Amino acid sequence: MPIPIVDSHIHLFPESHLPTLAWYDGPNSPLSSQHSIDEYRLATASVPTSPDSATPQPLYLRGFIFLETDRISSVEESGLGWSHALDEVSFLTRIITSEPVPGEGHADVDRQLCLGMVPWAPVPGGPALLEKYLALVKERTRTDEVFKKVRGVRYLVQDKPQGVMLQSGFIDGLKWLGRRNLIFDLGVDARQGGLWQLREAAEMMRKVYRDVEKKEDRVVMIINHLCKPNLRLPFSSPDSIAKHPDFLEWSSLVTAMAQHPTTYMKLSGGFSEFPSLAAEPEPDVASLVDQLQLWTDVVFDAFGPERVMFGSDWPVCNVGGGGNAVAWRRWRSVVEGILEKRGLTQAQKEGVWGGVAVKAYGIEM
């Protein structure tokens, strides 16, 4: 039977929203055009969106989980504010309710693809601001059916100053999310941001989980993109990586994060950390798998396949992966190679492709 893919990490934005994105710096930036479901369907055309009995394929795309797209915002409602982040929630609501606005790049049929959403939220503001903000999110989703798709929140820390994750408001905010059965997506960047981000994240987790005793207060954290490891270290052989201090510290910190049983890792984001691929010729996928193996072995050893999930990081994967026509397919092929080389069972592969994401995010299929 074909295996359903749940793509646990994609971003969507219509062209009209580009000026509200914190990273947008004009028409020459790599993602300076619309990236909505129309473009995502083109990117994922290598797999069907339902089990295909006529021409069976090993995988099909069941749907995706939307992650906030780093809108211009601030923790406090004043200042930069919350309006752009809430407009993003309204955009996703239009997708889920099949109410497309002309030009936004989605149609009635696309509602079935959106399995969940993870909007931005002012986590460092602590429980009071989170409660106020999530009430506004609920207003934007309009119905309980749509609000149930809000499976958690994200507040990117990869571009924030040191100490943010250790602030009392941040810690208390995470515990508040746990009590309300909302996950936290953690985005740190070892390569460009520095390994200090992983050290701080590991310390933050110790503080959060040390005080969580009741099962109903459990905090679920889903770590993005393998913590963005430095995949640009000179690779001549596995030994050249295995003894490098960057790899050794990354490995130690990832293993520390995995000690908490309600943490998960996304097998995603590799094309942003590798040297960029061109649209042509096709890359040597086996070589990419070989270069990733030491890093992914650490992840599977630490988390086990039961806590690792596939994500494409579309459309960001396009920038380093060769463009929209090829990048998603290439990353899927790399992940297939990783799972095969790891020797996972069929059930474990099914988990990585979709089952783990469904469980971790609490998605109703």
Per-residue pLDDT of the chain (365 residues), as tens digits, is: 889 999 999 999 999 999 999 999 988 888 999 999 999 999 999 999 988 766 677 999 999 999 999 999 999 999 889 999 999 999 999 999 999 899 999 999 999 999 999 999 999 999 999 999 999 999 999 999 999 999 999 999 999 999 999 999 999 999 999 999 999 999 999 999 999 999 999 999 999 998 766 665 689 999 999 999 999 998 888 888 999 999 999 999 999 999 999 999 999 999 999 999 999 999 999 999 999 999 999 999 999 999 999 999 999 999 999 999 999 999 999 999 999 999 999 999 999 999 999 999 999 88
Is 2 within 8 Å of 62 (Cβ atoms)?
no
Q: Is 309 left (phi over 0), alpha (psi -120 to 50) or beta?
A: beta
| 333-342: burial string, b at 16+ Cβ within 10 Å, e else | bbbbbbbeeb
Residue 212: predicted pLDDT? 67
Residue 213: predicted pLDDT? 61
CATH of the domain at 73: 3.20.20.140
Is 66 within 8 Å of 12 (Cβ atoms)?
yes
CA dist 258 and 269 (Å) reads: 19
Is 157 within 8 Å of 188 (Cβ atoms)?
yes
Task: Count Cβ atoms below 10 Å from residue 86 Cβ, excluding itself.
Answer: 19
Domain that holds residue 282: 3-361
Residue 47: predicted pLDDT? 95
Is 287 within 8 Å of 293 (Cβ atoms)?
no
Count of structural domains, the chain = 1
pTM listed for this prediction: 0.96
Contacts of 83 (CB under 8 A, 6+ apart): none
Name which of 151, 94, 60 is nearest 364 in CA terms: 151
